[in-house]
Amino acid sequence: MRPSERSADTLRPVRLTRHYTRHAEGSVLVEFGDTKVICTASVEENVPSFLKGKGQGWVTAEYGMLPRSTNSRMRREAASGKQSGRTQEIQRLIGRSLRAVVDLKKLGERQIVIDCDVIQADGGTRTASITGAFVALSDAIAGLIAAGKLTESPITDHIAAVSVGVFEGQAVLDLDYPEDSACETDMNVVMTGAGHFVEVQGTAEGVPFSRSELNALLDLAEKGIRELIALQQEALQS
Amino acid sequence: MRPSERSADTLRPVRLTRHYTRHAEGSVLVEFGDTKVICTASVEENVPSFLKGKGQGWVTAEYGMLPRSTNSRMRREAASGKQSGRTQEIQRLIGRSLRAVVDLKKLGERQIVIDCDVIQADGGTRTASITGAFVALSDAIAGLIAAGKLTESPITDHIAAVSVGVFEGQAVLDLDYPEDSACETDMNVVMTGAGHFVEVQGTAEGVPFSRSELNALLDLAEKGIRELIALQQEALQS
Amino acid sequence: MRPSERSADTLRPVRLTRHYTRHAEGSVLVEFGDTKVICTASVEENVPSFLKGKGQGWVTAEYGMLPRSTNSRMRREAASGKQSGRTQEIQRLIGRSLRAVVDLKKLGERQIVIDCDVIQADGGTRTASITGAFVALSDAIAGLIAAGKLTESPITDHIAAVSVGVFEGQAVLDLDYPEDSACETDMNVVMTGAGHFVEVQGTAEGVPFSRSELNALLDLAEKGIRELIALQQEALQS
Amino acid sequence: MRPSERSADTLRPVRLTRHYTRHAEGSVLVEFGDTKVICTASVEENVPSFLKGKGQGWVTAEYGMLPRSTNSRMRREAASGKQSGRTQEIQRLIGRSLRAVVDLKKLGERQIVIDCDVIQADGGTRTASITGAFVALSDAIAGLIAAGKLTESPITDHIAAVSVGVFEGQAVLDLDYPEDSACETDMNVVMTGAGHFVEVQGTAEGVPFSRSELNALLDLAEKGIRELIALQQEALQS
Amino acid sequence: MRPSERSADTLRPVRLTRHYTRHAEGSVLVEFGDTKVICTASVEENVPSFLKGKGQGWVTAEYGMLPRSTNSRMRREAASGKQSGRTQEIQRLIGRSLRAVVDLKKLGERQIVIDCDVIQADGGTRTASITGAFVALSDAIAGLIAAGKLTESPITDHIAAVSVGVFEGQAVLDLDYPEDSACETDMNVVMTGAGHFVEVQGTAEGVPFSRSELNALLDLAEKGIRELIALQQEALQS
Amino acid sequence: MRPSERSADTLRPVRLTRHYTRHAEGSVLVEFGDTKVICTASVEENVPSFLKGKGQGWVTAEYGMLPRSTNSRMRREAASGKQSGRTQEIQRLIGRSLRAVVDLKKLGERQIVIDCDVIQADGGTRTASITGAFVALSDAIAGLIAAGKLTESPITDHIAAVSVGVFEGQAVLDLDYPEDSACETDMNVVMTGAGHFVEVQGTAEGVPFSRSELNALLDLAEKGIRELIALQQEALQS
C-alpha cells in the first residue's frame, strides 16, 4: 500500500492554474498533490550572445525553491552565493525538455525564459515544473501570435514529465516525498504528445534495477504522461 | 486623483491568509492590493554563533523576489551569485523591525528565521513583508507555546509598516507601483501597536521635502498602520 | 552628562582638509572628532551603461573601512569577497544624498565616483562621509569648470549630514561611538542648505520612539547641519 | 559507416593503466580511444560532517577537464570561479555510480575521494571516468586491506559505464566526439557486473526517441559494459 | 638625470609617524616621498587553525590600496569581490618578510595581523609597507611586554625593504612611479639589520639583466636598507 | 648527501615529450624527475581588451595542480571557487618569463595562452613549467609560420628556469620535494639562452642568506639553465 493510499498507477490530483500572476507573458501554478510550483514564461526580444545573428531563438529555464518550501528550512541559494548542483541539473533538464518541442528557427530572434519556483515541495518538483512550464510557454507563444509578432506557433508537440519508481518492491507512478525518500529506484521521464521520449533518467538509490523493472517503470510513465498531456490540453482550452 | 482612484488616506485592500503553505511553523500570504508576499517563520533550535551561550534567542529575516514578480524580469539573485544592496537593506529592515517587539531573552536559545518572498510586486513589498511576517511570527510562537517549549509569549506588541509619499504634490498613503516610481518623496514607517516608531525612513527621490511635508506623511502613516494592526488582530483571532 | 562632556546640542570639533591626497580631482580628509574619513572625487569621462546616450551624468559612491579603523579588527571586505549589507546601505545613502544636489543633465555625460574610506572610526562615519564628500565633489566640479569642460556648476545646493539620538533619555547631537553603541534611538539626517530633508533614517535600537522624541531629534539635526554647512562654506572659500 | 570505421557495436580501444601517478592510493589512466582521463582515489581518515558518528564511510567524486583537453580551449573553471552545471552533473553521477557498489558501513568512518581529470577529450569522458575510477577505487581498497585497516572488501560488484546513441539513424556503441556532437539521441548507461542498471540517462538531442530505439540502445550498452568489466578484471589481475 | 633630480643612490625623504591612528596596538604612517601607507599591527589572542596547539604564534599581513590612491581610479577590490594576484603577492611577501625576524615560539599562541593600506601611491608601496610594518609590529610587541603578556621580545632583528632598478641604463635606488613604469629591470630587496637577505625579487621588465647589473643593484639596495634601518631605530627611540 | 644521492650541481633526469596531447597547437609533457607537468600552448586569434587595436599580441599563462598530484590531496581550486595566492604568483611568473623572449609586435594581434597543469609534483613545478612551456610555445609559433600566418618567428631567445637552494648548509641545484620542504633558502631563477636573467626570486625560508650564498646559488643556476636550454634545443630538433 502506498503512503497516500493511491493505487500503483494513479497520479496525484493535478491542477494547472493559468494567469496565476499578472506580469509574466505566461504564468501557471502547477500542483501535483501538495507539490506546488509557479511557472512563468518571460519573452525577451533578444537572444544569448552565442546565438546573435544566427536567425533563431532560444528557450531556457531557471529553477528555485523557497527556503521553507521543504520540511526543514534549506539555505537560500541567493544568500549562499551559488546554485547547488541539484538546482543546476534540474534547470538544465527543464530547458532541454522544452526546447525539444519548440522550433527555434520559427521562434525568431527572441528568448523565452522559464522560471520555475517551488513554493511547496512534496516530491516530483522537476516533473511538475516541466508539465506546468509547457502551459506557461504555450500562453506566452499565444501572446506573441495575438500581438502579430509570430504568424504560426513554433510549438511542435506537447511535453510533460512524471516520476516513477520502485517503492517497497513495486513499480509506482508519480512519487510523493515519503516514497521518493525511501524508494530503491527513481526515474524521471519526459515525453512528447506523440509518445516519444525526450529524457529518461533512472537512478538506483539502493539496489540496482533490472531490465524488466525498467520496462515496468516506463509503462507506468507512459500512462501517466498521457494523462498529464490531456490535462494540459484541457487547461489550455478553458 | 491617484492612479488607483483611492483617496489620499486609503490603504489598498489588505488580505492576510494564514497557513498558506504547510511545512513552516508560521506561513502567511500577505496581499496589499496586487503586491503578494509569502511570509514564513521557521523555528530552529539553535542560535547564530555570536549568541551561543548568551541565554537569548534571535529573530532574523531574508527577502527575495521571484524573477518575474516584476513588470520586466529581474536577474535571479541565486544565479548572479549575490544579493543586491536593495535586498540586503530590506531584509535587515524586516529583521530589526520584528526584533523590536520580541523579548529575545524570553524566546530562549532558539532562532526564528523569517522568509519573505515576493511572488507579485506592485509597490510596498517591504512594508507588506513586515506586516505579514508579524502574523507568521505570531503563529510560530503560538506553536512553541502549544508544544510546551515556551510558557509565555516573548512578543511584546504588534508591529506593522506602511509606505507614504508625496505624489503629484499630495501626501498619500500606501503607494502602489505607479505612484512609487513617480513620487517626489517616499517614506517607509514601521510602528508598534502602542503607536511608537521603530523605523522612519524618508527619502527625497526628486525635490527635498520640508518639515511640514514630513509631518503630513507621518500623520498618514499612523492612520494606515493603526488599520493594519487591526487587520492583524482580526486575522490572528480567526 | 555625555561621555565626551559635550552639551546635548554641540557637534564634535569638525575639520575639513582639502587637497589631502594628490591624485584625485577632489580629495578631502573630514574629521568629526576622532572619526576620520578620506573622501575623494574621481571624474570619469563616461557613464554607467544604463545611462549611455541619455544626455546626463551620474554621481555614485563607494564606502569602506580600514580593517583596524575600529576598536577590534574587522575582516577586510576584499579578503572576504563581498561587501557587507551595512557597507552597501551606506554607500547607497552617500550616492543618493549627493545626487540630490546635482543637476545630472548639467553635469553632462560623465561620472563622478566618490570614495569614502574610514581610517579611524568613532561613530558617525556615514554622516561625516556625506559632509566631506560634498566638499570633494565641489572641488572636482570646480576643476571641470576651470578646465573649460563645464560652463556652469551643476551643484544646486549644499548638502551635509549628522546623526542624532536618544542617549540616556536625552536627545543629543552628533553621537560618538560610546553614545552610538548605547543609545535607544539613532537617527541620521541629511539636509540641504535650504533646510530641506533628503534623507531621514530613524531606528529604535531599544525602546520605540514617540512623535515628540522624533521632533526633538529633528530640531537638533537641523541646528547641527546648519553649522556643518557653514563649515563647508568656510573650507571651500579658504 | 561510423567516422571511426568501427562497426555499430564495437568499443574504441580501451586501456587501463594502473599506478599512473605515484602519490594517490589508487591512480589509473583510462583511455577510450583518444579520450584520456586520470582517475585517482584518495583515502581520507575522516568523513563529511553530515556523516560524523554514523558508523559509515563515504565515496565522492570530483571531475575536471584541462582547459586544452578539447578542440578549442575552454575557460579554466578555477579561474572563472565556479564549476559549470555540466561539471557538477558529471561528478555527482560518478560519485553515485561508485557508491552503488560500495558497502559504506563496511568501509568504516573514512572517505575515498575520486578525482577524474580529463587530459584529452574525444567524447565519452564521463563513462570513461566511471570505468577507470572503479579500478582506482579497487586499488585504494586493496591498500586498506593490505595495511590491515579493513579485513574484507566493501566492494560488492564491478561497475562500468558506456555511452550509446542514435547516429545517422543507427544505434551505435561508445560515441566518439564526431558522433556525440552530431547524434540525435545520447544515452549514458552505468551497469554492475551482475548486469543491473545503476543509471540510465537518455537525452534526445534532436528528434525524440521511441521505445524500440531505447531498447536497441540498452542492448548495445549491455554488450559494451560486459566487455568493459572484463577489461577491468584483466587490469586488476595483472 | 632622474625625474626627481635625486642622485642614483639617494632615497626619497622617508618619514615614519608612530601612533598614527588610535585603535591598533601598533599604527604607523610610512612615507617614501609621495608614497604613503598606513601600517597597523593588531594583536589577536588566537592563532589560525593550522597552528592550534602547536605552541607558537603567527604573523600575517594584508595589503590594499584606496581606489584613488593611484593616478587613475582602480576598481575597489571589495566591490569586485576578490583580491588581485598582485595584491596577494604583496601581502604574502610582507608576511614572509616580517616572520623572518620574529621567533614565533617566543611570541606564544597569538597572532599579529599587519594591515598595510596605501592612501597615496608613487611607486615602492610594497617596500614602504615592509619598512613601516616593522615599526608597527615593534610597537605592538612592546605593548605586549608592557602588559606583562611577554617577558622578552620575540623580535630577532630589524627588517626593511627597498626597490632598485635599471632606469635609462643606470642602476638607481628607491624607484618612484615615473621610474618604476619606465625601468628595464625592477628589483625588490628585503634585508635584515645584520645585512642578510630575506627576499630578492628581480624582474626584467624589458631587456634581461646581466650578473654585473644584478650586483650593482644589490649594492645600492644594501646601502638604502642600511639607511632605512637607521630611520626605524630613530623612530622607535623617539 | 642529497636525499636523491645527486651531487650538488646535478639536475634530475629531464624529459621533454612534444605532441603529448593532440588538440593544442603546442603540447609538451615536461618531467624533472618525478615532477610532471603538461604544458599546452593555445593560439587565439584575438587579444585581451586592453590590447585591442594596439598592433601587438600577447602571451599569458595559467597554472594548476591536479588535486592528488601532491602527497596529500589538495582542495580543487575550481571547487573552492578561487585560485590561491600561490597559483596566481606562479602563473604570473610563467607569463612574464615567456613574454621576455617574444617580440609581441611581431606576433601580431593574436594571443597564445599557456596552460601548465601539474599531474605529479615533486618540487620545482614552476621551473619545470617555464622550461616545458617554452617548447610548447615554440611548436605553436612554428605552426603559425607553417600556416603562413607569420613570416618570421617572434621568439628572440630560449628561456628556461631552475630552482636552487641552500640545503643542509650546501648550495644545491634543482631541489626536489624533500629538499624544497627542508631548505633554508629557496631561489627560482629564469634565464635566457644569452645567459641573462629574466627573474631572480630568492626567499629565506629559515635563516636569512648572505651575499656569498646568493652568488653560489646563482652560479649553480646558470649551470643548470645552460643544460636545460641544450635539452630544449635537442627536443625541438628531433
Contacts of D36 in chain F (CB under 8 A): 21
Cβ within 8 Å, pair E197-F218: no
Binding residues of E for phosphate: 86, 124-126
Cell, residue E166: 635599471
pLDDT tens-digit readout, C44-87 = 999 999 999 999 999 999 999 999 999 999 999 999 989 999 99
Q: Which of F62, F68, F81 is facing D82, going by the closest CB pair?
A: F81
User: Which residues of A, range 186-215, sit inside 8 Å of D by Cβ?
Assistant: 187, 191-192, 194-204, 207-211, 214
Q: ∠B103-B104-B107 over CA atoms, to 5°?
A: 95
Q: Which of D92, D196, D210 is facing A210, going by the closest CB pair?
A: D196
How many whole angstroms separate alpha carbon E14 and alpha carbon E5? Answer: 16
The neighbour count for residue C174, using CB atoms within 10 Å, is 29
Q: How confident is the model at residue C207 (pLDDT cuts 50, 70, 90)?
A: confident
pLDDT above 90: residue E206: no
How many whole angstroms separate alpha carbon C82 and alpha carbon D146? Answer: 48
CA C48 vs CA C44, C58, C59, C109: distances in Å: 10, 8, 10, 10
pLDDT above 90: residue F205: no
Strands of chain B, DSSP E: 14-18, 26-32, 35-44, 58-65, 111-120, 159-167, 170-173, 185-192, 197-204
Q: What is the mean pLDDT of residues C148-169?
A: 97
Closest CA to C38 of C113, C114, C92: C114
Three-state SS string over C61-123 comes to EEEEECCCCCCCCCCCHHHHCCCCHHHHHHHHHHHHHHHCCECHHHHCCCEEEEEEEEEECCC
Instruction: Give partners of F (≥3 CB pairs < 8 A).
Output: D, E
Three-state SS string over D98-162 comes to HHCCECHHHHCCCEEEEEEEEEECCCCHHHHHHHHHHHHHHHHHHHHHHCCCCCCCCECCCEEEE
- Residue C218: the pLDDT is 97
Cβ within 8 Å, pair E209-F197: yes
Contact A85/B at CB under 8 A: no
Minimal-distance CA residue of chain F relative to E82 = F82
Of the ranges B131-140, D46-55, E140-149, which one carries the lowest mean pLDDT score?
D46-55
How many whole angstroms separate alpha carbon B204 and alpha carbon E142? Answer: 52
- Residue D226: the pLDDT is 98
pLDDT above 90: residue B204: yes
pLDDT above 90: residue B207: no
Max CA pair span of chain F: 56
Strands of chain F, DSSP E: 14-18, 26-32, 35-44, 58-65, 111-120, 159-167, 170-173, 185-192, 197-204
Cβ within 8 Å, pair F78-D64: yes
Strands F111-120 and F58-65: parallel
Contacts of F39 (CB under 8 A, 6+ apart): F26, F27, F28, F29, F30, F114, F115, F116, F129, F132, F133, F135, F136
Q: How confident is the model at residue E67 (pLDDT cuts 50, 70, 90)?
A: very high
How far does chain B reach from its first CA to its final CA, in angstroms? 35
Q: What is the mean pLDDT of residues C121-130?
A: 98
Contact C70/E at CB under 8 A: yes
Cβ within 8 Å, pair F69-D27: no
Cβ within 8 Å, pair A82-D82: yes
Distance from CA of D71 to the nearest CA of F (A): 5
Contact E64/C at CB under 8 A: yes
Contacts of C211 in chain B (CB under 8 A): 197, 218
Contact E157/C at CB under 8 A: no
Distance from CA of F222 to the nearest CA of D (A): 31
The position carrying cell 622617508 is E14
Contacts of F24 in chain D (CB under 8 A): 68, 73
In whole numbers, what is the pLDDT of chain E averaged over residues? 96
How many whole angstroms separate alpha carbon E196 and alpha carbon B180? Answer: 68
Binding residues of A for phosphate: 86, 124-126
Report CA dihedral (B193, B195, B197, B199) to the nearest 10 degrees. 50
Q: How confident is the model at residue C134 (pLDDT cuts 50, 70, 90)?
A: very high
Closest CA to C37 of C127, C119, C160: C119
Contacts of F121 in chain D (CB under 8 A): 23
% of chain C residues with pLDDT over 70: 100
How many whole angstroms separate alpha carbon C20 and alpha carbon E36? Answer: 12
Q: Which amino acid would we find at residue D206?
A: G
Strands C185-192 and C159-167: antiparallel
Instruction: Give partners of A (≥3 CB pairs < 8 A).
Output: B, D
Contacts of C117 in chain E (CB under 8 A): 66, 119
Distance from CA of B196 to the nearest CA of A (A): 32
- Residue C12: the pLDDT is 98
Closest CA to A43 of A142, A125, A191, A167: A142
CA B114 vs CA A84, B25, B40, D148: distances in Å: 22, 10, 6, 51
Q: Which amino acid would we find at residue C124?
A: G
% of chain D residues with pLDDT over 90: 96
Q: ∠B99-B101-B102 over CA atoms, to 5°?
A: 65
Give the residue extent of every domain in chain E.
14-237
Contacts of C68 in chain E (CB under 8 A): 21, 23-24, 27, 40, 42, 115
- Residue E78: the pLDDT is 95
Strands E58-65 and E26-32: unpaired
Q: SS3 for A31? A: strand
Contact B82, C80 (CB under 8 A): no
Q: Which of C192, C196, C208 is facing B198, going by the closest CB pair?
A: C208
Mutant choice from A17, A20, A23 vs B, greatest count of B C-beta within 10 A: A23
Distance from CA of B204 to the nearest CA of A (A): 28
Alpha helix segments (H runs only) across E33-191: 77-80, 85-99, 104-107, 125-146, 177-180
For the full predicted model, state whether its pTM sits above 0.90.
yes
Contacts of C67 in chain E (CB under 8 A): 40, 42, 62, 113, 115
Cell, residue B194: 502602542
Minimal-distance CA residue of chain B relative to C93 = B203
Minimal-distance CA residue of chain F relative to E85 = F88
Binding residues of F: 86, 124-126
Cβ within 8 Å, pair E203-F96: yes
pLDDT tens-digit readout, B49-90 = 999 999 999 999 999 999 999 999 999 999 998 999 999 999
- Residue C159: the pLDDT is 98
Closest CA to F28 of F42, F46, F16, F44: F16
How many whole angstroms separate alpha carbon A191 and alpha carbon D204? Answer: 10
% of chain F residues with pLDDT over 90: 96
Q: How confident is the model at residue E76 (pLDDT cuts 50, 70, 90)?
A: very high
pLDDT above 90: residue D1: no
- Residue D125: the pLDDT is 98
Distance from CA of D39 to the nearest CA of F (A): 10
Q: What is the mean pLDDT of residues F219-226?
A: 98
Beta-carbon pairs below 8 A across chains C and E? 97
Contacts of B226 (CB under 8 A, 6+ apart): B195
CATH number of B14-237: 3.30.230.70
Instruction: Give partners of E (≥3 CB pairs < 8 A).
Output: C, F
Contact B70/A at CB under 8 A: yes
Contacts of C77 (CB under 8 A, 6+ apart): C64, C83, C84, C87, E78
Q: What is the mean pLDDT of residues E38-57?
A: 95
Strands B58-65 and B111-120: parallel
- Residue B171: the pLDDT is 96
In whole numbers, what is the pLDDT of chain C averaged over residues? 96
Q: How confident is the model at residue D207 (pLDDT cuts 50, 70, 90)?
A: confident
Cβ within 8 Å, pair F197-E218: no
Strands F159-167 and F170-173: antiparallel
Q: Which of D40, D67, D120 is facing F22, going by the closest CB pair?
A: D120
Length of chain A: 238
Minimal-distance CA residue of chain B relative to C100 = B206
Cβ within 8 Å, pair B68-A34: no
The position carrying cell 565556479 is D82
Cβ within 8 Å, pair A201-D198: no
Please give the radius of gyration of chain C, using alpha carbons only, rounded to the nearest integer: 18
pLDDT tens-digit readout, E153-176 = 999 999 999 999 999 999 999 999
In whole numbers, what is the pLDDT of chain F averaged over residues? 96
Listed as ranges, residues in chain A with pLDDT below 50 are none
% of chain C residues with pLDDT over 90: 96
Q: Judge whether B81 is annotated as a binding position.
A: no
Contacts of E33 (CB under 8 A, 6+ apart): E4, E12, E13, E122, E176
Contacts of A23 in chain B (CB under 8 A): 68-71, 120-121
Cβ within 8 Å, pair C70-E23: yes
Q: What is the mean pLDDT of residues F11-17?
A: 98
pLDDT tens-digit readout, F79-123 = 998 999 999 999 999 999 999 999 999 999 999 999 999 999 999
Q: Which of C92, C195, C214 is facing B197, going by the closest CB pair?
A: C214
Mutant choice from F76, F118, F122 vs D, greatest count of D C-beta within 10 A: F76
Contact B92/C at CB under 8 A: yes
pLDDT tens-digit readout, C226-235 = 999 999 999 9
Q: SS3 for B60? A: strand
Cell, residue D148: 590491515
Max CA pair span of chain A: 56
What are φ and ψ of residue A18, in 5° steps?
A: -80, 165
Minimal-distance CA residue of chain E relative to C29 = E119
How many whole angstroms separate alpha carbon A88 and alpha carbon A69? Answer: 18
- Residue A85: the pLDDT is 93
- Residue D205: the pLDDT is 81
In whole numbers, what is the pLDDT of chain A averaged over residues? 96
Helices first, then strands: H and E counts in chain C: 6, 9
Q: Which of B79, B87, B117 is facing A62, going by the closest CB pair?
A: B79
Contact A62/B at CB under 8 A: yes
Distance from CA of B42 to the nearest CA of A (A): 7
